[in-house]
Structures are given as structure tokens and as C-alpha cells.
């Protein structure tokens, strides 16, 4: 059973009265519905794109912060492993000094 535009449907109401409904959709209503659907799709996509832009900006800021931290850590690493620093710690904190000539023993590896 198919319905045509403008067809009248009759059915019994709760008290047994007959009600009449007209199913008629004008072309204007169809255009308004399509326009609203397109407008909602546009707004949704715009909001979604804005959220993605914020996420991208956050990730770029996070990347920059991590690169800055990496540069600081590399500088700290280079400072900590410098031979002058290690020598100063050995002399001052560990009370170490260079060996005297008589304390040095030269080892010869067997040729072979």
C-alpha cells in the first residue's frame, strides 16, 4: 500500500471518533528540511574542524616544550660529562691526585 502526497488517512481515535489527517508536504517544506540538514552538517563540520585545530595547536606546543626540554638535557649531559668537572670532583670530593712516576706500572701485552 503506497501513499500519495495529499492522501487522506482515517483511523479510529481513543473514543472511537474518526480523525482525519492530511499527509501533504509542500516543496517549500522539503527545501527547508534540506537546508536545515545542510546547515547542521556545516555547523557540525565547522565545530569538528575547530576542535581538531585546537588539538593540533596543543600537540605543537607539547612538541616544542619537549624539544626545549631535550635541548636543556643535552646541555646538562654535556656539562656533567666534561673532563674538567670529573677531574674537579676527583680532586676535591674524592681526595684523588695524579699518580707519581714511581706509582705507574707499564704493562706490555704479549705479541701475538
SS3 83: helix
Find, among 41, 9, 7, the residue nearest to 25 by Cα.
7
User: What are the cell numbers at 101?
Assistant: 712516576
Convert the pLDDT of each residue in 25-73 to its tens digit. 688 889 999 999 999 999 999 999 999 999 999 999 999 999 999 999 9
User: pLDDT digits over 7-22, tens only?
Assistant: 555 555 555 555 555 4
Instruction: Compute the CA torsion angle 46, 47, 49, 52 (nearest 10 deg).
Output: 170
Cell of 5: 502526497
CB contact burial 2-23 (16+ within 10 A = b; e otherwise): eeeeeeeeeeeeeeeeeeeeee
Amino acid at each position: 500500500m503506497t501513499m500519495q502526497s495529499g492522501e487522506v488517512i482515517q483511523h479510529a481515535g481513543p473514543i472511537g471518533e474518526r480523525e482525519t489527517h492530511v499527509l501533504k508536504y509542500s516543496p517549500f517544506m522539503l527545501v527547508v528540511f534540506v537546508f536545515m540538514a545542510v546547515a547542521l552538517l556545516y555547523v557540525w563540520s565547522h565545530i569538528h574542524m575547530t576542535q581538531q585545530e585546537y588539538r593540533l595547536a596543543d600537540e605543537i606546543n607539547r612538541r616544542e616544550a619537549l624539544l626545549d626540554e631535550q635541548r636543556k638535557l643535552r646541555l646538562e649531559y654535556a656539562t656533567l660529562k666534561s673532563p674538567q668537572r670529573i677531574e674537579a670532583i676527583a680532586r676535591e670530593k674524592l681526595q684523588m691526585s695524579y699518580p707519581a712516576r714511581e706509582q705507574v706500572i707499564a704493562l706490555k701485552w704479549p705479541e701475538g
